[in-house]
């Protein structure tokens, strides 16, 4: 396969940690260019990369095949639209867009241009979620009636990234960590029938919601999503309850930790959780017995996402995450904010 020459729209934490290392190690890609207005951070780590000072310069290079839009949320629509209009394949960081209408427009534009458009929902490829998915789909819990998913942090100080702490479209915890949780739930159970949301501000001097509780309604099933920036000792990240038993799992994927430490996503042990993080499966037998088992975790590997994108671009294979799936996440977010405003359950 001829490597896909790929351009990255920024080299902050997202570009440096969650995209460039994968483009570097995978033979299907060439980390070709990056947009940095004044610095040369990418070139210091990847000397062969081309540094562009304007977005127009980046898009004007006919060698660029794929553009990764990893800029602030409220710019996703604008930058993705420009890249698609230039005939480039595009990956858009989560959340895909701020509004569902923007998402629909980008999807239509990509179709008209005959290019691939994907939403980068990387947490689908985490070890913890993959393990939960395997347990849920195995049927061992029987009919599942309730699930609670947490993505908690303890960060009382405001982020130095001004765009994340300034009130406005696309900001706040629901768009940030909530995008991951909603995408995972949609993968497990599809679109809910309705949503109820409670969002508010809990940190001193914060301007954006940093606490969320979202209740998703399915026939015979309720799924609660919770996240907060003031959880010192987190609860299990995943709690799934069925007629036959319960599964509890920590948020234990190790990929981010190793990427932040500057490690490259290589080797057979990449994404392997420690045994201490195995989930707890408690199941009742037909004879009244109760079994307790520590479940071996699946391996997390975001390389699978990028390999899937390469297959779609070069061979017409299905995308690992479609733009339509990214749009569905945004639809749920919009309905959640409508619920907050109306203080009632909102049908989806």
DSSP, res 268: T
Q: Which of 97, 227, 80 is nearest to 170 (CA)?
A: 97
- If asked whether residues 152 and 253 sit together in one domain, one would say yes
Within-domain flag for 42: yes
- Measured CA to CA, the distance from residue 322 to residue 302 in angstroms comes to 15
107-142: pLDDT as tens digits: 999 999 999 999 999 999 999 999 999 999 999 999
- If asked whether residues 272 and 292 sit together in one domain, one would say yes
- If asked whether residues 224 and 341 sit together in one domain, one would say yes
- Measured CA to CA, the distance from residue 255 to residue 258 in angstroms comes to 5
Residues 6+ apart with CB under 8 A from 128: 237, 238, 249, 250, 251, 252, 253, 273, 277, 279, 297, 300
- pLDDT for residue 287: 87
- If asked whether residues 146 and 62 sit together in one domain, one would say no
Asked if the model's pLDDT at residue 304 lies above 80, the reply is yes
- Measured CA to CA, the distance from residue 316 to residue 293 in angstroms comes to 41
Helix axes 177-189, 127-138, angle to 10 degrees: 20
- Measured CA to CA, the distance from residue 33 to residue 8 in angstroms comes to 6
The string of DSSP letters for 105-162 reads HHHHHHHHHT--EEEE-GGGGSHHHHHHHHHHHHTTT-SEEEEEEE---B--SPPS-H
Within-domain flag for 207: yes
- If asked whether residues 30 and 112 sit together in one domain, one would say yes
Within-domain flag for 260: yes
State which residues form the domain around 261. Answer: 127-300+332-347
- pLDDT for residue 288: 85
- Measured CA to CA, the distance from residue 253 to residue 297 in angstroms comes to 10
- pLDDT for residue 134: 98
- If asked whether residues 79 and 211 sit together in one domain, one would say no
- If asked whether residues 137 and 263 sit together in one domain, one would say yes
**How many folded domains does the chain comprise?**
2
88 contacts 66 by C-beta, under 8 angstroms = yes
Within-domain flag for 312: yes
pLDDT band at 165 (very low <50, low <70, confident <90, very high): confident
- Measured CA to CA, the distance from residue 331 to residue 334 in angstroms comes to 5
- pLDDT for residue 159: 82
- If asked whether residues 276 and 164 sit together in one domain, one would say yes
Within-domain flag for 219: yes
203-260: pLDDT as tens digits: 998 899 999 999 999 999 999 999 999 999 989 999 999 999 999 999 999 999 999 9
Within-domain flag for 285: yes
Task: Indicate the pTM of the whole model.
Answer: 0.95
Within-domain flag for 327: no
65 contacts 88 by C-beta, under 8 angstroms = yes
DSSP, res 322: B
- If asked whether residues 317 and 234 sit together in one domain, one would say no
Tally of CB atoms within 10 A around 301: 19
Q: Which of 118, 327, 104, 348 is nearest to 214 (CA)?
A: 348
CATH number for the domain harbouring residue 293: 3.30.360.10
Tally of CB atoms within 10 A around 2: 8
- If asked whether residues 8 and 81 sit together in one domain, one would say yes
């Amino acid at each position: 396969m001829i490597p896909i020459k790929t351009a990255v729209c920024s080299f902050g934490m997202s570009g440096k940690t969650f995209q460039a290392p994968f483009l570097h190690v995978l033979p299907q890609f060439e980390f070709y260019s990056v947009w940095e207005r004044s610095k040369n951070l990418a070139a210091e780590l990847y000397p062969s990369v081309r540094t562009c000072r304007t977005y127009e310069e980046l898009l004007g290079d006919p060698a660029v095949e794929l553009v990764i839009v990893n800029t602030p949320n409220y710019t996703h629509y604008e930058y993705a639209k420009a890249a698609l209009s230039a005939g480039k394949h595009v990956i858009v960081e989560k959340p895909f867009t701020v509004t569902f209408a923007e998402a629909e427009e980008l999807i239509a534009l990509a179709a008209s241009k005959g290019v691939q458009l994907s939403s980068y929902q990387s947490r689908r490829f985490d070890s913890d979620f993959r393990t939960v998915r395997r347990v849920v789909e195995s049927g061992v819990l029987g009919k599942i009636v309730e699930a609670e998913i947490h993505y908690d942090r303890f960060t009382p100080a405001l982020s130095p990234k001004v765009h994340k702490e300034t009130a406005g479209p696309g900001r706040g915890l629901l768009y940030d960590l909530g995008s991951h949780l909603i995408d995972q739930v949609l993968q497990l159970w599809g679109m809910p029938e309705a949503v109820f949301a409670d969002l508010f501000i809990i940190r001193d001097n914060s301007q954006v919601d940093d606490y969320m509780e979202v209740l998703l309604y399915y026939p015979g099933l309720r799924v609660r999503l919770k996240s907060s920036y003031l959880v010192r000792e987190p609860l299990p990240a995943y709690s799934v309850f069925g007629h036959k038993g319960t599964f509890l799992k920590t948020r234990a994927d190790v990929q981010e930790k190793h990427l932040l430490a500057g490690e490259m996503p290589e080797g057979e042990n990449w994404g392997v959780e420690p045994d201490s993080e195995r989930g707890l499966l408690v199941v009742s037998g037909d004879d009244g017995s109760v079994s307790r088992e520590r479940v071996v975790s699946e391996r997390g590997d975001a390389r699978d996402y990028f390999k899937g994108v390469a297959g779609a671009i070069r061979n017409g294979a299905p995308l690992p995450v479609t733009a339509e799936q990214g749009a569905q996440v945004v639809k749920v977010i919009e309905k959640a904010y409508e619920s907050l405003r109306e203080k009632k359950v909102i049908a989806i």
